């Protein structure tokens, strides 16, 4: 009996951007998407912060940044003023004081504009290939307990 071969990191490097996005959008393991499985796994928090800093801070329009800024204030993730009572002028000023909110600014990208969802999915997959390859391979190969 021949065993099924496992996907390796070199195999993933051959996937096209479209194949990556399709996999991220369509795959589940034990009811978890790649993103939800990652969020349920102890991991360094830098992926979404990196995504915001490297991609979304440049992609968001001024109008989208304003929507995101208001959303963070309105839903209570951030206060409208700093500790000294000075009102934040915009999203950039808020994130400068609260870097942890960069993660939210990245994760909320598809709520701000649905066209950003595949951008996040592609970035996440490539980031995981570089920094979370053990997790990614365990997820892709559906290895029990691997993620």
26-78 pLDDT per residue, tens: 999 989 999 889 888 887 668 889 999 999 999 999 999 999 999 999 999 99
**Cα–Cα distance for residue pair 14/1, rounded to 1 Å:** 28
Question: CA 60, CA 113: separation in Å to the nearest integer?
Answer: 9
First to last CA, the chain: 27
Report whether 49 contacts 99 (CB < 8 A).
yes
Q: What pTM, to 2 d.p., does this model score?
A: 0.84
Q: For residue 99, which of 45, 60, 38, 61 has the smallest C-alpha distance?
A: 45
Decide: residue 92, CB within 10 A, 0-12 exposed, 13-18 middle, 19+ buried.
exposed
C-alpha–C-alpha distance, residues 147 and 144, integer Å:
7
Q: In this model, does residue 3 exceed pLDDT 80? A: no
List pLDDT tens digits, range 82-125.
999 999 999 999 999 998 899 999 989 999 999 999 999 999 99
């Amino acid at each position: 009996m021949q065993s099924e071969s496992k996907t390796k990191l070199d195999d993933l490097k051959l996937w096209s951007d479209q194949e990556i996005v399709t996999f991220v959008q369509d795959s589940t393991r034990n009811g978890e998407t790649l993103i939800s499985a990652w969020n349920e796994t102890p991991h360094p928090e830098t992926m979404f912060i990196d995504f915001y800093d490297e991609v979304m801070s440049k992609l968001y329009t001024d109008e989208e940044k304003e929507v995101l800024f208001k959303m963070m204030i309105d839903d209570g993730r951030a206060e409208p003023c700093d500790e000294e009572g000075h009102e934040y002028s915009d999203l950039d000023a808020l994130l400068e004081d609260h870097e942890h909110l960069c993660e939210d600014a990245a994760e909320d990208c598809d709520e701000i504009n649905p066209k950003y969802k595949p951008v996040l999915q592609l970035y996440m997959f490539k980031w995981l290939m570089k920094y979370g390859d053990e997790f990614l391979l365990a997820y892709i190969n559906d290895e029990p307990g691997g993620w």
